[in-house]
């Protein structure tokens, strides 16, 4: 059975890394002693080693040992043999580029679909969608393709922000950018606010967390989805 959590963010304001998610992760990874971490997104340019160490500190709180994929000679086998997998946030373009460069996108998808528990945060959640086209990140590299894992039949926009009517900022809102995407694509987009995540178990997709999410579909008004809403109607 597919067991996936796709979270908007790894860290809430004034919180420690992954702390708000640990109760859910303790259940999600209840049968796992080790976890394979994919640090390719490198937020703020952090090294693979330092990023893996940061993740190790968080997962030690639930008694799980973390191993970085960059330490394996055969990264394909590392994914196939993993008890659990976590892809962290950072730059989605860099993450997707590295997954394709190392021929890992397909093996990662197949391994997750076969039942290996998976966690994604931010960029690691972006790749759970059909494509990475609704990322917020700067295109610092050009990936081989924008197609991603397709664990859900729609795209995600993590860190979704509502328009601030008091702001003097004249740039595009997140909603504007997603509407632009829908001039060229029919793929639905879910705007995930901070502290919210998707729980995908088998073919059931449920919105979890404390906040609603905003669903965008081509040529339709955006709608708010409340916590614990099933998104199975999108399948």
Burial pattern 3-26, b for ≥16 Cβ within 10 A else e, equals bbbbbbbbbbeeeebbebbeebbe
CA distances from 44 to 13, 40, 71, 137, 215 (A): 17, 12, 21, 12, 29
Closest by Cα among 150, 147, 144 to 112: 150
* Alpha helix ranges (H) inside the chain: 22-28, 48-60, 75-80, 92-101, 105-113, 123-126, 174-181
- Whether residue 185 lies in the annotated active site: no
Residue 169: active-site member: no
For this structure, is 56 an active site residue?
no
Which entry of 8, 28, 97, 137 is annotated as an active-site residue?
Answer: 137
Residue in the block written with tokens 């993740």: 55
In the set 48, 56, 159, 212, the catalytic residue is 159
- Provide CB contacts within 8 A for 56, sequence distance 6+: 37, 65, 66
Which of 8, 10, 97, 122 is labelled catalytic? 122
If you ran DSSP here, which 8-state letter would residue 230 be given? Answer: B
Indicate which residues carry an active-site annotation: 122, 137, 159
């Amino acid at each position: 059975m597919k067991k996936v959590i796709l979270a908007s963010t790894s860290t809430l304001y004034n919180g420690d890394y992954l702390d708000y998610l640990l109760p859910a992760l303790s259940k999600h990874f209840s049968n796992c002693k080790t976890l394979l971490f994919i640090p390719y997104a490198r937020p703020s340019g952090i090294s693979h080693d330092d990023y893996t160490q940061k993740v190790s500190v968080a997962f030690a709180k639930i008694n799980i040992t973390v191993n970085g994929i960059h330490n394996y000679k055969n990264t394909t086998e590392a994914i196939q043999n993993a008890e659990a997998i976590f892809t962290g946030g950072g730059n989605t373009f860099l993450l997707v580029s590295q997954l394709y460069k190392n021929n890992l996108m397909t093996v990662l998808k197949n391994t997750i679909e076969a039942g290996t528990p998976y966690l994604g945060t931010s960029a690691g959640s972006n790749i759970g969608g059909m494509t990475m086209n609704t990322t917020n990140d700067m295109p610092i590299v050009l990936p081989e393709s924008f197609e991603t894992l397709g664990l859900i039949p729609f795209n995600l926009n993590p860190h979704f922000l509502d328009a601030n009517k008091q702001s003097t900022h004249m740039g595009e809102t997140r909603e504007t950018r997603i509407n632009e995407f829908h001039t060229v694509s029919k793929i639905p987009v879910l705007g995930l606010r901070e502290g919210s995540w998707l729980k995908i178990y088998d073919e059931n997709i449920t919105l979890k967390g404390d906040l609603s999410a905003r669903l965008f579909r081509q040529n339709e008004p955006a709608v708010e989805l409340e916590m614990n809403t099933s998104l199975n109607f999108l399948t």
